[in-house]
A and B are shown apart, each in its own frame.
Chain A
Amino acid sequence: MSKDLDRRRFLKIAGTSMGVGALYTVWPGLGSAEAAEAARRLGLKNGEKPTPFTFAQLSDAHVGFDGPIGTRALDKAVDIINDLPQAPDLILFTGDLTHDTEKPGEHAARMNLFKDISGRLKVAKIYHVPGEHDAGLDGGELFRNVFGPTYYSFDHRGAHFVALDNVSRARPEVGPEQRAWLAKDLARFPRTVPIVVFTHRPLFDLRPDWEWFTSDGDEVMSLLAPYENVTVLYGHIHREDHHTVGHSQHHAARSLSFAFPDPDRVEEKKPIPFDKDQPFKNLGLRVVNQAQGRAAGVESVTVKDVELAMNEYSGTEGFNQLLKPATF
């Protein structure tokens, strides 16, 4: 990342996905007069200047899915986050909290089970967006009854968070009504505002013939294009992925149920076979933090990868993935 680009961004959001989710660190890009002025203006605009904080993303728990892992990965994710030395401010769940079923009452029971497990998280605030398995069959009615609106926004420590719903219309799309709402929602912010969009499906064409896209994703990104610091977090693809579109960085979290393979390497969309000897293979944890006592900047970010397999099956695949260097 160039120094020029660093200076333009007064607030950075770094992080990436992992088997059980992703932990992101947000910190102001101090040391630049331009950044300080941008922070001041943002403070005037939305009443809050940016200050450092962390948050985590979890995705695709598919509670109720008839798979070998059950809810163990979700349980473990909750434990890992609760054991972090410093609790994240927020948890963002990016959809497919449950696996759908048409058995009367069963989907609601799965939604409530998810709510019970995630309710053990010792964090101040938990936010959700639906996946198609949560909201594709009923237009989001059950989700709204349990969690509230399927799209919304909020501000936290100077960053603007936008929850987008690209599943409730049954098709992979956000739709004109929500896009109009988004345009209005963003209108009050300066172009320097740090924006975190969290949604279920990718907002770009990752692999359309696997339904890894949002049909009006380009229109959504056009609304976000004027903003210099946009991070889009999503799930759906059950694997880690990183992508850049203009000023925006797109990160996918792995799932908490099963993994999909690299779409560039295989033609058919089939889950990676479950390995009973390594039940959490392809699941893990990547923690991104600003190093203590050092000035903010890319070089001060530490990235620690911890595969779940490492904790229970020391020496198995994933061992060498510990403590990878920062890549951004």
Chain B
Amino acid sequence: MTRNGILRVTGGGLAVVAGLLAAGSPRTRAEAGPRVIVITAKRFEFSPKEITLKKGETVKLQLKSEDVTHGFFLRPLGIDTDIAAGQTAEVTVTPQEVGRYRAICDHFCGAGHGGMKMTIVVEEQAAGGAVGK
């Protein structure tokens, strides 16, 4: 076995051990990546109709179309993406302003398109609640 081979095996072993140790640890979430929120889109509604984020918290929005192509647009959070028919799109956001925002479908999807929307609420972090820990 070469030196490189030894190192690779060792490294892989460490990764497994680290993964096992991390289970249940308060640091798990930060190391595993941002919180994931699934949002489904189908004519002419998003589900859920409202989600709540924390100011400064990075979250991944997993946007799933259950039928045709939709859009997901919310300028204050810098979100503007298409969700291809039957596909999933992902958007990562870190809201910086507290508020109540309306996200809309901006890819015309039929007669009820104009009413396809959902609410994203951004709240202050709870006192002492540091983000990402």
Inter-chain CA distance A305–B116, complex, in Å, is: 35
Q: Is the CB of A171 within 8 A of B111?
A: no
Interface SS majority for chain A: loop
Band of interface residues on B: 20 to 34
Residues of B with C-beta under 8 A to A172: 106
A91 to chain B, nearest CB (A): 25
B-facing residues in A142-173 (Cβ within 8 Å)? 167, 170-172
**Cα A170 to Cα B109 with chains together (Å):** 8
CA distance A82 to B48 in the complex (A): 51
Please tell me if A102 contacts chain B, counting CB pairs below 8 Å.
yes
For residue B103, give the distance in angstroms from its CB to the closest CB of chain A: 8
B101 / chain A contacts, CB cutoff of 8 Å: 209
Question: Does B12 count as interface, using CB distance less than 8 angstroms?
Answer: no
Residues of A within 8 A of B74 (CB): 209
Binding site for B on A (CB under 8 A): 99-102, 132-133, 136-137, 167, 170-172, 205, 208-211, 215, 269
Residue of A nearest to B74 (CB): A209
A117 to B89, CA, bound (A): 44
Nearest CB in chain B: distance from A66 CB, A: 9
B102 interfacial by beta-carbon distance below 8 Å: yes
Whether A100 contacts B111 in the complex (CB less than 8 A), given A171-B82, A215-B80, comes out as yes
Chain A residues with CB under 8 Å of B82's CB are 171
Q: Which residues of A contact B107 (CB under 8 A)?
A: 170-171
A302 CB to nearest B CB, Å:
37
Instruction: Write the nearest CB–CB distance from B72 to chain A, whole angstroms.
Output: 11
* The 10 residue pairs across chains A and B that have the minimum distance between CB atoms: A136-B108, A209-B102, A132-B108, A170-B108, A170-B107, A208-B75, A171-B107, A100-B111, A171-B106, A211-B106
CB closest chain-B residue, reference A208: B75
- Decide if A100 touches B75 in the complex (CB within 8 Å): no
- Contact: B104 with A211, CB < 8 Å? yes
Asked if B111 and A99 make an inter-chain contact with CB atoms under 8 angstroms apart, the answer reads yes
- What are the residues of chain B within 8 A of A102 when measuring CB–CB? 110
Taking CB atoms and an 8 Å cut-off, the chain B residues in 48-75 that contact chain A are: 69, 71, 73-75
B99 CB to nearest chain A CB (Å): 12
In the assembly, what is the distance between CA of A208 and CA of B102, in Å? Answer: 10
Question: Contact at B102–A101, with CB atoms within 8 Å?
Answer: no
Query: B42 interface residue, CB < 8 Å from A?
Result: no
**A99 / chain B contacts, CB cutoff of 8 Å:** 111
Closest partner residue, chain B, to A136 (CB atom): B108
Chain A's closest residue to B68 (CB) is: A137
Given A209-B102, A209-B104, A211-B104 in contact, is the A171-B110 Cβ separation under 8 Å? no
Query: Within the complex, what minimum Cβ distance (angstroms) separates A68 from chain B?
Result: 17
Please indicate which of the listed interface residues B74, B106, B110, B117 has the most CB atoms of chain A within 10 Å of its own CB: B106
- Can you spell out 21 A-B residue pairs with CB atoms less than 8 angstroms apart? A100-B110, A132-B108, A133-B111, A136-B108, A136-B113, A137-B108, A170-B69, A170-B107, A171-B71, A171-B106, A171-B107, A205-B75, A208-B73, A208-B75, A209-B103, A209-B117, A211-B73, A211-B104, A211-B114, A215-B80, A269-B115
Chain A: minimal CB distance from B26 (Å): 37
Within the complex, the shortest CB–CB distance from A102 to chain B, in Å, comes to: 7
**How far is it, in angstroms, between the C-alpha of A205 and the C-alpha of B111 when the chains are bound?**
23
